[in-house]
Amino acid sequence: KARMAIGGYVKLDYIQDFDGGYDRFQYEIQNAPVAGDGRPAQSGYMNMHARESRFNFDIRSINEAGRPYQIFIELDFYNLDRGAFNQAPRLRHAYGVMGRLLVGRTWGTQSDLFAVPATIDFAAGDALTGTRRAQVRWEDKLGSKFMYALALEMLEYPGIDARDTIGQASQQLPLLTGRITKKTAAGGRLFLGASVFQLRWDGLGAMPNSRALGWGFSFSGREYFGAKKHWFRWMASYGHGWGSQIVATIGTQASAIVTPEGTLETMPAWNLGGGFAFRLSNTLVTNINSNWYSIDPSEYKEGYDMKAGLSGHANLIWSPLKSLNTGVEFMMVQRTNVNDTQGTGRRLQFMVKYLF
């Protein structure tokens, strides 16, 4: 009654950086160089790696009660916190599905993968709303045209700025999120999502604890057009305390800040993205994408903290075989700091990917 599939791909990337970006493996907006912001300046460089390669196990069966279930596990090698050449496996997904119930770690309920741009760069222009998280999710049909999902999730990146303050981020409640999706007549999908969550700073006895309510909503999707099934995608979101829900801001403490009075002040944030994929032939596709984000920073944020950014990607991908992709991509990212200083980075990236 059980069956298993082994999947994944092997991918080799060659990166030619022109402006000294601070991440040598993926180009996130926050890693664009800005002159004089305190980070050591560096010149352009090359890098070649296979970190994005991944493999997964998909196991499906039927239990004694006759209900189908699935177990899915996927790993890649993007452990950037373990040294440049320490490429130990990293857990991406580990979850089980029984009927309508999902339990484990996978993309958050408000993450719309249909609206993620098709880029060669692993960061994908920092375009995604939400991250992979531990969660419990229920998903079902809503009438004949809609699907809905409700979940309790772990907020892994609270994004609280507490510089020179004793304490730590420590939630007492899980994140509550939901979404409604609808398939379109052309085969695309519309996506509407919302989340509400607690942001909490534990003063560890040295200062009072503080709490704030975070919330945000998103609207995104993909739609196909033309005889060759070209498509366009879009993604937009807005919220308060929402910074850490936008991938571009993870690590920049953009959700809230601990004020000198010890209270927690949330910051508004938004993102917007759009792009097109054009099928030039059965084996040749070009993708053009751009994404923006911004926060309304607190008056207590430092001048060289990031407050906004944008990215642009254009690529050409050739698939001479169904299991083989190769391509080239030009990308540009721009970072804007709280004091309005800006920096721009440019890269060229080549890839060969074999899917199995």
- Taking the mean position of all CA atoms in its chain, how far away is CA 290? 15
pLDDT of residue 221: 97
CB 296 within 8 A of CB 289: no
Q: Which residues lie across from 321 on neighbouring strands?
A: 324
Element (H, E) at 15: strand 3-17
Q: Find how far residue 303's CA is from the centre of its chain.
A: 26
Q: What is the DSSP string of 227-258?
A: TTTEEEEEEEEEEES-GGGBGGGTTS--SEEE
Q: The tokens of 56 are what?
A: 């997964």
Q: Which residue has the tokens 């995608």?
A: 233
How many whole angstroms separate alpha carbon 95 and alpha carbon 250?
24
Number of other residues whose CB lies within 10 A of the CB of residue 168: 13
Q: Say if residues 87 and 77 touch (Cβ distance below 8 Å).
A: yes
pTM: 0.93
Q: Quick one: which of 93, 120, 88 has its CA closest to 106?
A: 93
- Bridge pairing between strands 189-202 and 168-169: antiparallel
Bridge partners of 180? 148, 192
- For residue 286, report the phi and psi dihedrals to the nearest 5 degrees: -120, 140
Closest CA to 197 of 257, 151, 253: 151
Segment 258-311, tens digit of pLDDT: 999 999 999 999 999 999 999 999 999 999 999 999 999 999 999 999 999 999
Q: Nearest 10 degrees: CA dihedral of 147, 149, 155, 156?
A: -60
* Residue closest to 249 by CA, chosen among 200, 201, 308: 308
Give phi and psi for 101, each to the nearest 5: -105, 130
pLDDT of residue 82: 64
Determine the pLDDT at residue 107.
97
In whole angstroms, what is the distance from residue 66 CA to residue 1 CA?
A: 11
Amino acid (1-letter code) at residue 322:
K
pLDDT score at 278 = 98
H-run or E-run covering 48:
strand 45-49
Token readout for 338 is 């709280």
Task: Per residue of the chain (356 residues), give pLDDT as tens.
Answer: 889 999 999 999 999 999 999 999 999 999 999 999 989 999 999 999 999 999 999 999 998 888 899 999 999 999 877 666 777 899 999 999 999 999 999 999 999 999 999 999 999 989 889 999 999 999 999 988 899 999 999 999 999 999 888 999 999 999 999 999 999 999 999 999 999 999 999 999 888 999 999 999 999 999 999 999 999 999 999 999 999 899 999 989 999 999 999 999 999 999 999 999 999 999 999 999 999 999 999 999 999 999 999 999 999 999 999 999 999 999 999 999 999 999 999 999 999 999 99
- Six-digit token pair at 309? 């950014």
Q: What is the CA radius of gyration of the chain?
A: 21
- Which residue's structure tokens are 């990293």? 90
Tokens 């299991």 belong to which residue?
A: 323
